[in-house]
Structure 1
Amino acid sequence: MFQASRGRRWAVVLLVPFLLGALLWASSWSAPADPPAPRHARAPRTPRPAASPDKPLRLAQASAPAQAAPAPSSPAPSVSRALPAPSPRALKLYQLGKRLGVHEPRLEDPCVAPSGATCSRTALAPFFESLDALSSREAASPTVISAFGNSLIAGDRIVDVIREELGATFGDGGRGVLAMDRLAPYGPRVRAGFARGGWEPRTLGEVKLAELPFGISGIYHRSTTTKASSRFALDREPRGTLWWLDVPRAGRLSVHADGQELARAEPQGSGQAQALPFDIPEGARHLEVVADGRGATVLGVVLQHQRPGIVLDTLGVPSADANLFLRAREDIFRTQLAERSPRLLLFILGGNEAKRLEWGRSKLAEVEEGLRTFVRRSRAAAPGSACLVVGPIDAVRGGNGPKKLAQRPYLDEVISIERQIALSEGCAFFDIFSAMGGSGSLARFVDAGLVHEDLVHPRGHGLDILGQLITDALLRSWVDAADPRRQAALAPPLQASEETR
C-alpha cells in the first residue's frame, strides 16, 4: 500500500510532466506522430516512438534507483528499451486515474538467476526477450500471451486494452483463439464468431460439471441442430486450426472459406480432442464452420498471422477460479497450450476465490493448492514461457450507514497467497488492488459510475483503467529489467512466514 505522503509525491510527479508535456507536445515533437490505429485494427503497425522525458509516461512514470548499485556483471540487452509515447486513450485514462486515486503500477519481477550483487535473468525474461526481438524487427513469428481469468477476462475489455496497447508498440499478430459464439446474447464479438442454428455453450465455471472435457479455453460449443454454423470475418490470415472433440455418434464438421470447403473432420468416436489445420485462400473474406449433424463439438478456432506481433488469447471463463480451471482435461490442456507456445502466461484470478472463502465454500488451503497446481500445470505445458500472476481487484459489498460499501473479507489473504505462490514458483506478481488505490478504490469507481449494479464488475472506462495498469506495469518492468542492478529491489526475498503460510 502507498502511504499518504508517497501518494502526494506521486500526484506531483504525475502532474508536472503532464503539464509540461501538454505545452511542449506540439512544439518540441521532432516528428509528427502517426494517427492512432482504430480499435481492433489488424494491419501491422509501426512501433510508437519512445516518450520524451518531459512528457507523461502513461500511468507508469519513470523513477530512478534510490542509490547507486555495483556495476552489472552481465551484459544489458542489446535493444534499447524505452517506454513508448502514450496513446490518446492512455492519456485520457491517465487523467481519469488521477481523479480516482490510482497509484503507480509496478510489479514484482523476481530474479531467477542471481549473479553476485546483480541479476542476470528475471522471471519475465522470456517475454521481455520476445519484446526485444519484436522491437528490433528480428522476430520471425508472433509473440503469444495466454491470459487465463474469470468473468473480468471473459468480457475481453481488460485484455483488449493490453492487446491493443502492446500491439500498437510491437505489432499486431492477429486474434488467436476464438469461440464459436458468445456465451450470452450480449457482449463483444471480437473473440467469437456469428453462430446460426443451434449451438449449446458449456463452461468449466458451471456448478454442474459438463459431460464432455474442456481444453485451455474452458468452453466448448455443441451443435443441437443439423447445419448449425458459425461465421468469422477474415483478415488475410494464411492458416487456421479447428479444435474439436471426436464425440461418438456426432455429426461431422467442415470448414469453408467463401463457400469453398477447406477441410473436413470425420468423427470416429474416440473421445479424443483433435486439431484440424487448414490453409486459407488468399483474399478470402469469410470463414465458416459447419456441423452436418447434432452433437458436433468445437473447442475453439485459431486464426492468426505468421507475421511478428502480439497475439493475446482470451481464456476467461465466467465464475472461474484456479480450481475450476483444473477441470480441463490435462492431456488436452497440455497439448493445446504447447501448440500455442506462449511467451507469457498471464493469470488474472482471485475475485471468485475471495467470495467463496467468504461464503464458506472454500478454505485458504484449497485456494493455495488450486492456484499453485494450476500455475505448475501451465508452466509444464509451456516451459519456455514467462508467467505473471495478477491479484484480485478491490471488492465490496453493500451495507448501511457510513460503511455503505465495505471491503469484502479474505481479499488481503488471497492477495498474500497469490504473491507468495507467484514469487516462490518463479513468476512475477502484480498487486492491482494497490495500484487501483487499495481499500476504498472500488467505491470511488462506483461513485464515478464505472461499476455495474452488482458492485462486482467494473464497466466501460473502469475496465480500461485496469487493462492500462497491467499494460503499464509490464512496460515499466520491461524497461527496468534492462538494468540488472535494479532487480534486487523489485522483488525482495520472501520472509519465512510467507513461505510457510
Structure 2
Amino acid sequence: MASNSVRQVPLLTLLLVACLVGFSFIPEQFWSEYELKPIRLFSSIEKNSKPVLPENPALIADVSEEKEPDSVTVAPKVITKDSGLVASVPCPKGQTCIEDYDSTGQGLKQIMKALAEEAQHKPVRIAFFGDSFIEGDMLCGDFRDTLQALFGGKGVGYVPVTSPVANFRVTIRHQFKNFKTYSVQEKTPGGPPLGVSGYSFVPEGNNVVNFKTAAPYGPSHFERVRLFYRANQNSRVTYTLGKNAEQSDSLAGQGYLTEHDLHTSGDQIRMSFGGSLALYGLSFESDHGVYVDNFSMRGNSGWGLLGVSESMYQQFNKLQHYKLVILQYGLNVIQPNTTQLGWYVPKMMAAIERIKRGFPEASILIIGVSDRSMKQEDNYISFPSIPYLIAAQRKMSQKTGVTFWNLWEAMGGEGSMVKYVNAGLANKDYTHMKYAGGRKIARLLTRAFLFEKKKYDQNRTAGTTPGALHKRPGTENASHSDASLTVRNTATKRDLSGRKPESVFR
C-alpha cells in the first residue's frame, strides 16, 4: 500500500522556510559574485533608515564631502595659452553638468573634436553600453535623434542579429528565426568569440532575419548596411531589399572579425546566411553624421564588459573608430541596504580599464545610477544605498581618469523616481522608465553634453584649452540664458531629413 505523502507536506514547508531564512542572512556580495539578487525574506518589514556614511575612503568617496545640488562649488577652469590665466566656466544653475576627471581636463576632447571636424563628411560613432535601463533603445534613441538633427546622420547604427527585446524596440522593426545565441551571461562553452555587444550568433538551417525602418520613431530609410561577422572559410549571405529581386554576396573567410558592406539603401532588408559563420550585427547608417550604438544587456552589472576580450573590442574599434564610450550601469548592483561595495569596485574598475584599452581613440563617460524606489509601509522611498553607489562610481571615474555624469542628481535626487511614476514617465516597478521618461532623461543628458560642446567651441575659437579638473563642477550663479544659448539656437535647425530636436528641449 502506497504511503500517504500528505503527511510530509508540513515538514517540507518548514524545511523550505528554514532555507529561505538562512539565505536571507547570506552576505550580499555572495549573490553579487554570481550576478544574482540577494534573498531578503523580511525586506517588507525591515526598518529602512538612511545608512551610515561609508567608512572606507580607499574604495568609496566620502559622501559627507558632497554638497547639495544647488550649492556653490569649484567650477571647471579654462587656461589661456597666451597669458596662463585661469577663468571659470560655471555650470548653469539648475543643471547637472558632466564632471571631468581626466588629468588634462579634456576628457571629452575626442568626441568634441570629431563633432567639430569630422561629422559633416564621415561617421562619428558613440558606443552606449548599459543594462535594462536603455534596452529597447530607451534613452539612446532620443539622444541619437537629437545629435543627428544637430550634426547629421541617418540610421540607428548597430543592431544585433537577434535580440530578446526586438518586439519592444520602436526605432527599428526586427524579426528573426533559427539562430543560436551566445552571450556573456549564458557562458555556453564552445561558442564563437563574443562581439562588442556581448553577443554572438550562429545561423542554423532555414535562418532568416528581417529589418524594417520604423518611422516616425526612427529614420524612414537607410543608405548603407554593414554586416559584421567572423568566418574561417568562405560563406554567403542572401538578401532582399523591399520588393526587389533576391541578391547574394560571398563572405570571405579570414579567421577574424570582418566587415561586409552591402552597398544598399531602402527601408527594409531580409537576409539569410550560409554555414560556418559567427555573426555579430549590422549597422544601418549613411556616409556622415552621428551614430549612437545601443549595447544594452538586461541584468548586467557592468562586469559583463569583461566577458568580451580586449582583442575583440580593438577589432571592432578598428572598423568603427568610436569617439565616445558611455557606460550606464548600477541597477543590478544595489539592493536597499547595499553599503559595502568593495566586492564590486575592483572588478568594475578593471572593466573600465579594458574599455579604455579597447577604444583608445574614445572619450569615456560613466553615467551614475538612476533613482530606484522601494515600498516602506504605505509609501515609496528611494533606496537608501544609492548615494553609496554614486560615490563609488564617482571615485572610479576619478581613479581611471574619465568623465562622470550624476543621473540621480539630474533626475531630482531622492524621491525622483516616485515623481516620474506619478507623472506617467516610469513603470510601476519604480526602476525602469517608459519611453516618455527615457526622452526626458535624454533631454537632461543632451543638455549636459551640449554644454560641454559649447565650452569646447568657445575654447577652440579663443585658442584656449581646458585645465585639469578633479572636483565636482559647481552650480555658481551664472546666466541661465547664456548657458542654454546652444539649446535654444539649435531648437529651430533642421537636418536634410527635415527633423528638428525641439522635442528634446521642451
- What TM-score comes out, normalization by structure 1 length? 0.67
Give the equivalent residue in structure 2 for 1:55. none
Q: Secondary structure at the match of 2:139?
A: helix
Q: Distance in 2 between matches of 1:297 and 1:459?
A: 34
C-alpha distance after superposition, 1:75-122 (max 9, x if no partner): 99xxxxxxxxxxxxxxxxxxxxxxxxx952211124533xxxxxxx51
C-alpha distance after superposition, 1:98-148 (max 9, x if no partner): xxxx952211124533xxxxxxx51101111122226xx7x4211110111
**Pairwise CA distance, 1:153:** 1.8
Name the CA shift for 1:205/1:459 in 2 (closer, same or farther; >3 Å).
farther
Give the equivalent residue in structure 1 for 2:88. none
Give the equivalent residue in structure 1 for 2:122. 141
Give the equivalent residue in structure 2 for 1:104. 95
**Pairwise CA distance, 1:438:** 0.8
The aligned runs of 1:263-302 (5 Å cut-off) are: 263-265=249-251, 273-281=256-264, 286-292=268-274, 297-302=278-283
Give the equivalent residue in structure 2 for 1:158. 139
Is 2:452 aligned against 1:468?
no
C-alpha distance after superposition, 1:181-215 (max 9, x if no partner): 441463125356332x4334443345878944321
Name the CA shift for 1:219/1:263 in 2 (closer, same or farther; >3 Å).
same
Give the equivalent residue in structure 1 for 2:395. 420
Is 2:305 aligned against 1:325?
yes
Any conservation in 2 of the 1:172–1:310 contact (CA below 8 Å)? yes
Give the equivalent residue in structure 2 for 1:372. 349
Name the CA shift for 1:477/1:74 in 2 (closer, same or farther; >3 Å).
farther
Q: Distance in 2 between matches of 1:144 and 1:312?
A: 6
Q: Distance in 2 between matches of 1:152 and 1:372?
A: 21
Amino acid at match of 1:454: D
Give the equivalent residue in structure 2 for 1:125. 109
Q: C-alpha root-mean-square deviation of aligned residues, in Å?
A: 3.9
Aligned residues: 391
**Pairwise CA distance, 1:378:** 1.7
Name the CA shift for 1:68/1:298 in 2 (closer, same or farther; >3 Å).
closer
Any conservation in 2 of the 1:203–1:210 contact (CA below 8 Å)? no
Deviates more, 1:480-489 or 1:256-265: 480-489
Q: Distance in 2 between matches of 1:261 and 1:385?
A: 37
Which is higher, the Rg of structure 1 or of structure 2? 2
Name the CA shift for 1:71/1:368 in 2 (closer, same or farther; >3 Å).
closer
Is 2:305 aligned against 1:353?
no
Amino acid at match of 1:241: R
The aligned runs of 1:20-419 (5 Å cut-off) are: 72-73=80-81, 103-110=94-101, 112-113=103-104, 122-133=106-117, 139-184=120-165, 186-191=167-172, 193-195=174-176, 197-206=177-186, 211-232=191-212, 239-246=224-231, 253-257=237-241, 258-265=244-251, 273-281=256-264, 286-292=268-274, 297-307=278-288, 309-355=289-335, 358=338, 364-401=341-378, 404-419=379-394
Q: Secondary structure at the match of 2:307?
A: coil
Name the CA shift for 1:419/1:288 in 2 (closer, same or farther; >3 Å).
same
Any conservation in 1 of the 2:227–2:262 contact (CA below 8 Å)? no
Name the CA shift for 1:409/1:206 in 2 (closer, same or farther; >3 Å).
farther
- What TM-score comes out, normalization by structure 2 length? 0.67
Name the CA shift for 1:141/1:221 in 2 (closer, same or farther; >3 Å).
same
Give the equivalent residue in structure 2 for 1:87. none
Amino acid at match of 1:320: N
**Pairwise CA distance, 1:275:** 1.8
**Pairwise CA distance, 1:71:** 6.9
Q: Secondary structure at the match of 2:99?
A: coil
Name the CA shift for 1:189/1:213 in 2 (closer, same or farther; >3 Å).
farther
C-alpha distance after superposition, 1:316-343 (max 9, x if no partner): 1111122112112332232113321111
Q: Distance in 2 between matches of 1:238 and 1:164?
A: 16
Name the CA shift for 1:411/1:380 in 2 (closer, same or farther; >3 Å).
same
Q: Distance in 2 between matches of 1:331 and 1:312?
A: 22
**Pairwise CA distance, 1:428:** 1.0
Q: Distance in 2 between matches of 1:69 and 1:357?
A: 37
Any conservation in 1 of the 2:259–2:319 contact (CA below 8 Å)? no
Give the equivalent residue in structure 2 for 1:440. 415
C-alpha distance after superposition, 1:33-65 (max 9, x if no partner): xxxxxxxxxxxxxxxxxxxxxxxxxxxxxxxx9
Q: Distance in 1 between matches of 2:384 and 2:232?
A: 44
Unaligned 5+ segments in structure 2 are 1-65, 85-92, 214-218, 474-506
Q: Distance in 2 between matches of 1:209 and 1:440?
A: 44
**Pairwise CA distance, 1:346:** 0.8
Q: Distance in 1 between matches of 2:83 and 2:110?
A: 16
Q: Secondary structure at the match of 1:167?
A: helix
Q: Secondary structure at the match of 1:298?
A: strand
Larger RCO: Structure 1 or Structure 2 (Cα < 8 Å, ≥ 6 residues apart)? 2
Name the CA shift for 1:235/1:297 in 2 (closer, same or farther; >3 Å).
farther
Q: Distance in 1 between matches of 2:102 and 2:201?
A: 42
Any conservation in 2 of the 1:126–1:386 contact (CA below 8 Å)? yes
**Pairwise CA distance, 1:177:** 1.0
**Pairwise CA distance, 1:488:** 5.8
C-alpha distance after superposition, 1:429-471 (max 9, x if no partner): 1001111111111121122232223221111321111111111
Q: Secondary structure at the match of 1:343?
A: strand
Give the equivalent residue in structure 2 for 1:58. none
